């Protein structure tokens, strides 16, 4: 396996493809549109309010102290309401995904749905335990049905607490109760936040952010976590395949598309579609049909988070992340792009119309004009998948000029919480103890979760890999999800060899001993919930059964004590803000860039960047560049280390311009 199999930088490849697009009469792409769009400073800095018809009201940067909206709202209230609404929207997105998975899970358990089954028994009994379900003498389908009923009820629950909250460290749970922000039901928190951010309701941003926290927690420890866990039961926990445990490897980047095979690109978020496409593509009849049309086979590749889902479970190749979705079509080699929900650019249609590519929508929640709609059947999804594949096969012969860049990279992936546990301690001694003790002895400085989206800018340096390289050079172990993970995978950071090339000496030693990359791919964006569980586990092992501190592995009693940080260096979607805030409300210092839409609201901004830590332990931070974000993360981790009394042994390895230049993007 080589990490040096890229001849050109991603920027060079992209430029060539965009040129091809122009020659093929593609009117615009996100790259050209992002050059043409001039961002409105009021929106960019967080002080545009269009909540009611008296507005839109805009608070002028520089005059923000004196200016008010017509109702009297000031810059802080306006920015806080906008911010909180993003949290509500993001929570709604992850949670509606979770609801759909739960409905299909329940239908599977009841035998009403073909194509899925209850696969991961280990996780099934773990989740049953959390819901207090007695499993003795029951079939796995019966257990799953009881889980499905309870999980589905949590969306509409009015009182009480979400079940998975009890997976957090005790001290954190107590804090949530004390602040009255333990989420009661998933939908309720979204609705209440929408209500409170409307015109003329909650105008104290401290109070508003309490509900925003409750809502975000209903995402991370609710909707998103339900999505992750039930998907795992249906499709297997990444890296944890029943009796065998293994990480998988896969290839990423445009070079995974094939000249001589039918290419089907799966794009979106819910693995319900991609999983049945994977199954159906193996059907010998469809394989034969493809051959009869002159193709050598059927090639599936992913885009965005659905790509992450099938990559970490099956090693299915990935064509790209968010910003690469139109470029995949520009190759002229995509016979079908099948989409479900979220992060699907409307611009796809303009591009697809210039090629033979058929875009197929599959969810009633997300239709695009001028596309084929084939609803993912709630009765027989495999049949839907076969129909999609047949359309792709028929379309293969309609290709025009094809240009598939040869560039692709290997990635070793599938580091679920369960696999990390296993890889550290083996089958009989599964534990995070080695991780904690490596942190205590300083081999690993701390852990950073680097997650979220990527923006369609043309840059020489990729902000994700630039940031991550600096972190691992400073012995920070990096865990990734989402499009950011795909960026670093494309830059060759997810192979064990990357440790030799980029990691600091301590981290390198650990990676070498375990045979792992210094950057661990944990899955899609809903799988950030895996990181919450990993953090809880790092806390929980610090004390013995009887409650005594075990000094060999003790890193504090709450997530907010851990030398860890979160980062979303290139956020795009509101979902990223919801994720950021559930990390903050879980006690994690979380750093975003390269903008944050709170700049011109001084009171609210300072509250997010520091004041909020007094109650929640976690806080927001902002860095405009990879270097700034890396600095903030490393400083934050060091602060936590010194609060724990861990001796500092190392100075930060600073990446100066010279070193940055050497980090050229491959």
The residue among 70 and 654 lying less far from ligand SF4, judged by its C-beta, is 70
CA torsion sign for 550, 553, 558, 562 is positive
The residue among 76 and 570 lying less far from ligand SF4, judged by its C-beta, is 76
- Min. distance of Cβ 306 from ligand NFS in angstroms? 8
- Chain residues that interact with ligand NFS, rule: CB under 6 A: 269, 304-305, 322, 343, 452-453, 482-483, 525, 572-573, 575-576
Q: Which does 322 bind (CB under 5 to 8 A by kind): ligand SF4, ligand NFS, none?
A: ligand NFS
Kindly report whether the peptide bond that precedes residue 607 is cis, defined as omega within 30 degrees of 0: no
Of 364, 366, 368, 367, nearest to 376 by C-alpha is: 364
- Min. distance of Cβ 67 from ligand SF4 in angstroms? 10
In angstroms, the CA 459 to CA 35 distance is 12
Q: Which does 643 bind (CB under 5 to 8 A by kind): ligand NFS, ligand SF4, none?
A: none
Q: Which does 411 bind (CB under 5 to 8 A by kind): ligand SF4, ligand NFS, none?
A: none
Q: Which does 51 bind (CB under 5 to 8 A by kind): ligand NFS, ligand SF4, none?
A: ligand SF4
- Min. distance of Cβ 104 from ligand NFS in angstroms? 18
Of 93, 103, 624, 156, nearest to 632 by C-alpha is: 624
β-strand pairing of 372-373 with 409-413: unpaired
Distance of CA 523 to the CA centre of its chain: 7
The residue among 144 and 273 lying less far from ligand NFS, judged by its C-beta, is 273
In angstroms, the CA 318 to CA 306 distance is 9
- Min. distance of Cβ 57 from ligand SF4 in angstroms? 3
The residue among 467 and 510 lying less far from ligand NFS, judged by its C-beta, is 467
DSSP label of 357: P
- Chain residues that interact with ligand SF4, rule: CB under 6 A: 49-52, 54-57, 69-71, 73, 78, 199
Residue with tokens 């993003």: 86
Q: Which does 73 bind (CB under 5 to 8 A by kind): ligand SF4, ligand NFS, none?
A: ligand SF4
The residue among 339 and 453 lying less far from ligand NFS, judged by its C-beta, is 453
The residue among 58 and 269 lying less far from ligand NFS, judged by its C-beta, is 269
The residue among 434 and 602 lying less far from ligand SF4, judged by its C-beta, is 602
Spatial contact of 476 and 591, defined as CB atoms under 8 Å apart: no
Q: Which does 506 bind (CB under 5 to 8 A by kind): ligand NFS, ligand SF4, none?
A: none
Distance of CA 29 to the CA centre of its chain: 24
- Min. distance of Cβ 480 from ligand NFS in angstroms? 10
- Min. distance of Cβ 68 from ligand SF4 in angstroms? 8
Half-sphere exposure of 116 (CA within 13 A, CB side): 34
The residue among 281 and 308 lying less far from ligand NFS, judged by its C-beta, is 308
In angstroms, the CA 597 to CA 232 distance is 35
Q: Which does 572 bind (CB under 5 to 8 A by kind): ligand SF4, ligand NFS, none?
A: ligand NFS
- Min. distance of Cβ 55 from ligand SF4 in angstroms? 2
The residue among 30 and 304 lying less far from ligand NFS, judged by its C-beta, is 304
Alpha helices in 480-601 (DSSP H): 482-490, 497-502, 505-514, 528-540, 574-585
The residue among 73 and 453 lying less far from ligand SF4, judged by its C-beta, is 73
CA torsion sign for 623, 627, 631, 637 is positive
The residue among 50 and 293 lying less far from ligand SF4, judged by its C-beta, is 50
In Å, how far are 529, 589, 635 from 557, measured between CA atoms? 20, 16, 21
Burial classification of residue 653, based on how many CB atoms lie within 10 Å of its CB (0-12 exposed, 13-18 middle, 19 or more buried): middle
Burial classification of residue 114, based on how many CB atoms lie within 10 Å of its CB (0-12 exposed, 13-18 middle, 19 or more buried): middle
In Å, how far are 169, 453, 482 from 304, measured between CA atoms? 32, 9, 7
- Min. distance of Cβ 548 from ligand SF4 in angstroms? 54
Q: Which does 304 bind (CB under 5 to 8 A by kind): ligand NFS, ligand SF4, none?
A: ligand NFS
Spatial contact of 494 and 412, defined as CB atoms under 8 Å apart: yes
Q: Which does 50 bind (CB under 5 to 8 A by kind): ligand SF4, ligand NFS, none?
A: ligand SF4
Q: Which residues pair with 479 in a beta bridge?
A: 449, 520
- Min. distance of Cβ 274 from ligand NFS in angstroms? 13
Q: Which does 305 bind (CB under 5 to 8 A by kind): ligand SF4, ligand NFS, none?
A: ligand NFS
Kindly report whether the peptide bond that precedes residue 56 is cis, defined as omega within 30 degrees of 0: yes
Q: Which does 54 bind (CB under 5 to 8 A by kind): ligand SF4, ligand NFS, none?
A: ligand SF4
- Min. distance of Cβ 73 from ligand SF4 in angstroms? 4
Spatial contact of 473 and 503, defined as CB atoms under 8 Å apart: yes
H/E run at residue 590: strand 589-592
- Min. distance of Cβ 40 from ligand SF4 in angstroms? 15
The residue among 7 and 459 lying less far from ligand NFS, judged by its C-beta, is 459
Of 619, 616, 627, nearest to 596 by C-alpha is: 619
In angstroms, the CA 589 to CA 584 distance is 6
Q: Which does 55 bind (CB under 5 to 8 A by kind): ligand NFS, ligand SF4, none?
A: ligand SF4
- Min. distance of Cβ 321 from ligand NFS in angstroms? 6
In angstroms, the CA 626 to CA 36 distance is 24
């Amino acid at each position: 396996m080589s990490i040096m199999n890229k001849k050109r930088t991603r920027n060079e490849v992209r430029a060539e493809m965009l040129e091809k697009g122009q020659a093929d009469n593609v009117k615009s792409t996100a790259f050209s549109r992002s050059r043409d769009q001039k961002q409105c400073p009021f929106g960019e800095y967080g002080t545009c309010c269009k909540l009611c018809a008296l507005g839109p009201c805009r608070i002028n940067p520089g005059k923000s102290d004196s200016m008010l909206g017509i109702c009297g709202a000031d810059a802080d209230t306006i920015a806080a309401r906008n911010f909180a609404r993003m949290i509500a929207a993001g929570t709604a997105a992850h949670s509606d995904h979770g609801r759909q998975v739960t409905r299909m899970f329940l239908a599977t358990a009841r035998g009403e749905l073909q194509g899925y089954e209850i696969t991961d028994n280990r996780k099934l009994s773990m989740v049953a335990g959390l819901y207090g379900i007695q499993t003795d003498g029951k079939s796995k389908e019966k257990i799953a049905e009881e889980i499905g009923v309870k999980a589905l009820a949590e969306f509409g629950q009015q009182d009480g607490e979400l079940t998975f909250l009890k997976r957090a460290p005790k001290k954190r749970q107590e804090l949530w109760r004390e602040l009255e922000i333990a989420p009661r039901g998933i939908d309720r928190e979204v609705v209440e936040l929408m209500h409170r951010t409307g015109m003329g309701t909650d105008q104290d941003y401290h109070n508003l952010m309490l509900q925003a926290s409750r809502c975000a927690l209903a995402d991370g420890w609710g909707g998103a976590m339900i999505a992750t866990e039930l998907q795992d039961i249906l499709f297997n926990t990444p890296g944890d395949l029943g009796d065998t445990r293994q990480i998988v490897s896969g290839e990423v980047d445009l070079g995974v598309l094939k000249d001589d095979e039918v290419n089907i690109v799966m794009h979106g978020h819910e693995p319900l579609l991609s999983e049945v496409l994977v199954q159906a593509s193996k059907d010998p009849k469809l394989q034969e049909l493809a051959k009869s049309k002159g193709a050598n086979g059927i090639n599936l590749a992913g885009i965005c988070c659905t790509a992450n889902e099938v990559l970490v479970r099956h090693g299915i190749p990935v064509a790209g992340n968010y910003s690469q979705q139109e470029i995949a079509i520009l190759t002229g080699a995509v016979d079908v792009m099948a989409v479900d929900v979220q992060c699907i650019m409307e611009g796809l249609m303009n591009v697809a119309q210039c090629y033979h590519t058929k875009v197929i929508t599959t969810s009633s929640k997300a239709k695009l004009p001028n596309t084929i709609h084939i609803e993912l059947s709630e009765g027989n999804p495999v049949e839907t998948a076969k129909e999609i594949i047949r359309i792709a096969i028929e379309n293969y012969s309609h290709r025009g000029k094809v240009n598939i860049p040869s560039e692709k990279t290997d990635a070793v992936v599938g580091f679920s919480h369960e696999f990390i546990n296993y890889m550290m301690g083996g089958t009989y001694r599964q534990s995070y103890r080695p991780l904690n003790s490596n942190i205590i002895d300083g081999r690993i400085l701390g852990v950073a979760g680097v997650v979220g989206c990527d923006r369609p800018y043309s840059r020489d340096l990729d902000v994700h890999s630039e940031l991550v390289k600096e972190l691992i050079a400073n012995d920070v172990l990096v865990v990734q999800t989402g499009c950011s993970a795909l960026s670093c995978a494309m830059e060759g950071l997810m192979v064990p060899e990357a440790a030799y090339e980029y990691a600091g000496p301590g981290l390198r030693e650990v990676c070498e001993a375990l045979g792992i990359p210094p950057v661990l791919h944990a899955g899609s964006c809903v799988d950030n919930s895996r990181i919450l569980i990993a953090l809880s586990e790092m806390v929980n092992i610090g004390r013995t059964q009887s409650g005594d501190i075990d000094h060999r592995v003790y890193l504090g009693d709450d997530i907010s004590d851990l030398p860890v940080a979160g980062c979303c260096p290139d956020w795009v979607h509101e979902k990223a803000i919801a994720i950021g805030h559930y990390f903050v409300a879980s006690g994690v210092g979380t750093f975003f860039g390269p903008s944050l839409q709170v700049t011109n609201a001084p009171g609210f901004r300072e509250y997010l960047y520091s004041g909020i830590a007094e109650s929640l332990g976690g806080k927001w931070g902002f860095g405009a560049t990879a270097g700034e974000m890396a600095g903030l993360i490393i400083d934050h981790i060091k602060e936590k280390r010194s609060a724990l009394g861990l001796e500092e042994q190392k100075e930060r390895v600073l990446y100066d311009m010279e070193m940055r230049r050497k980090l050229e993007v491959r």
